[in-house]
């Protein structure tokens, strides 16, 4: 490897996941700036910090509006709007149901139906009052709870790439627990294209993980094998159905979205996950500049029309 091809990889644990920043020239100040940025965002959006802005909104549900920072207000506004549009799949008001199941956080039991019904009654995205002038958010019923777990990392990835660009950096990779966003041309390949590996769930031996060859885009995966528990043969995973209050039952193991904006990709990955292969492929095919790769329970791969199959498990995006 020549000097021009060196990678500088920084990694840290934050927000319950592993964050990796890859640069192609040493730049410790920008790495520290990005670390500090994420630490600040964690203090705003964490569900695990009672003093976060998000938890202040949740704690005062049914009591009064809570004024928050513009960053917090704006992301919540976009997340709630998307939830109103996608009410049967992506819904950031699923907090009470998420809390009930506690999947990935030590919960190992199926909640009582009465408790599920009660929690589901508190997930209406239209029961949120957003005041843009005051930057306030009001959850109008006690027990309502915002959970931005399905969108926040995408927003952070977009912001991190923006900060890298603003710092004059031409090429980089940010990876927030599998949510990947690329910047610029890959300096290690003649074409400047990147290859993004996608972990295939339960891949049989010798079966390659998926790879996407692409220009600088984002790749976001929603899957059920990151956080789940089993009772007997049933898998209870962490993507919960706003219509039933149960982990969504669909003939698919994971879906990866390829597009430019990572926040949008996060929403689409959840929406596509709910749609499954046939409806999901049709849905994504109608969206400009978005592609998707679905893996069903038989480990079969299904892609949208804009992806070119290069070789087994390898797809060309743009
Ligand atoms: P990952 O954490 O694997 O990246 P996702 O982006 O798919 O997963 O988001 C899953 C998280 O979003 C859950 O852990 C939970 O906090 C929250 N969540 C669960 N069900 C939904 C849903 N239907 N809509 C929006 N958020 C959800
Ligand atoms: Mg998501």
Residue 133, domain CATH: 1.10.3980.10
Same domain, 234 and 135: no
Which residue from 208, 163, 167, 204 is spatially nearest to 181, judged by alpha carbons? Answer: 163
Quick one: which atom of ligand 1 is closest to the CA of 90? 24
Same domain, 312 and 250: yes
pLDDT confidence tier of residue 314, bands split at 50, 70 and 90? very high
Same domain, 192 and 132: no
pLDDT confidence tier of residue 312, bands split at 50, 70 and 90? confident
Same domain, 308 and 207: yes
Q: Which pLDDT belongs to residue 154?
A: 98
Residue 249 lies in a domain: yes
Same domain, 128 and 200: no
Segment 191-201 shows an average pLDDT of 89
Q: In 46-112, where does DSSP find H-type helix?
A: 53-59, 70-85, 95-101
Residue 22 lies in a domain: no
Residue 1 lies in a domain: no
Q: What CATH number is given to the structural domain containing 265? A: 3.10.520.10
Residue 284 CA, chain-centre distance (Å), reads 17
54 with 44: CB under 8 angstroms? yes
Is residue 235 pLDDT above 70, yes or no?
no
Q: Are strands 210-214 and 314-316 parallel, antiparallel or unpaired?
A: parallel
pLDDT confidence tier of residue 207, bands split at 50, 70 and 90? low
Least confident of 17-31, 42-56, 134-148, 196-210: 196-210
Same domain, 201 and 312: yes
Q: Which pLDDT belongs to residue 1?
A: 46
Residue 248 CA, chain-centre distance (Å), reads 16
How many CA within 13 A on the CB side of residue 17? 18
**Domain hosting residue 64, numbered range:** 53-139
When the pLDDT of each residue in the chain is averaged and rounded to a whole number, the result is 91
To test the ligand 1 pocket, which listed residue (78, 124, 150) has its Cβ within 8 A of the most ligand atoms?
150
Q: Please tell me which residue, 254 or 235, carries the higher pLDDT value.
A: 254
What are the backbone angles phi and psi of residue 172, rounded to the nearest 5°? -165, 160
Residue 161 host element (H or E): helix 152-166
Residue 45 lies in a domain: no
Cβ of 98 less than 6 Å from ligand 1: yes
Task: Choose the final residue of a domain: 116, 139, 162.
Answer: 139
Q: Which pLDDT belongs to residue 225?
A: 63
Q: Which pLDDT belongs to residue 178?
A: 85
pLDDT confidence tier of residue 249, bands split at 50, 70 and 90? confident
Cα angle vertex 149, ends 144, 152, to 5°?
Answer: 115
Distance 149 CA to ligand 1 centre (A): 5
Same domain, 234 and 124: no
């Amino acid at each position: 490897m020549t000097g021009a091809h060196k990678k500088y990889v920084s990694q840290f644990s934050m927000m319950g996941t592993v964050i990796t920043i890859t640069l192609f020239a040493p730049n410790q100040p920008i790495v520290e700036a990005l670390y500090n940025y994420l630490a600040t965002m964690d203090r705003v959006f964490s569900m695990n910090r009672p003093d976060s802005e998000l938890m202040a909104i949740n704690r005062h549900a049914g009591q009064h509006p809570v004024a928050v920072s513009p960053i917090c207000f704006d992301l919540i506004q976009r997340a709630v709007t998307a939830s109103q549009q996608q009410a049967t799949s992506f819904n950031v008001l699923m907090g009470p149901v998420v809390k009930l199941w506690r999947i990935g956080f030590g919960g190992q039991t199926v909640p009582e139906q009465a408790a599920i019904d009660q929690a589901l009654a508190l997930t209406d995205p239209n029961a949120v009052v957003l005041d843009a002038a005051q930057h306030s958010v009001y959850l109008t019923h006690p027990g309502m709870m915002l959970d931005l777990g399905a969108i926040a990392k995408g927003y952070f990835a977009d912001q991190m790439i923006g900060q890298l660009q603003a710092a004059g950096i031409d090429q980089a990779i940010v990876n927030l627990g599998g949510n990947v966003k690329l910047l610029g041309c890959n300096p290690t390949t003649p074409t400047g294209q990147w290859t993004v590996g996608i972990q295939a769930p339960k891949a049989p031996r010798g079966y390659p993980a998926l790879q996407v060859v692409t220009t600088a885009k984002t790749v976001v995966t929603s899957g059920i094998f990151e956080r789940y528990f089993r009772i007997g043969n049933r898998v209870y995973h962490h993507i919960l159905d706003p219509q039933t209050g149960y982990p969504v039952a669909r003939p698919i193991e994971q879906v990866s979205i390829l597009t430019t904006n990572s926040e949008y990709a996060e929403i689409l990955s959840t929406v596509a996950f709910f749609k499954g292969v046939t409806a999901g492929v049709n849905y994504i095919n109608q969206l400009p500049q978005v592609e998707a790769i679905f893996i069903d329970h038989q480990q079969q791969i299904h892609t949208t029309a804009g992806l070119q199959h290069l070789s087994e498990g390898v797809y060309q995006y743009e």
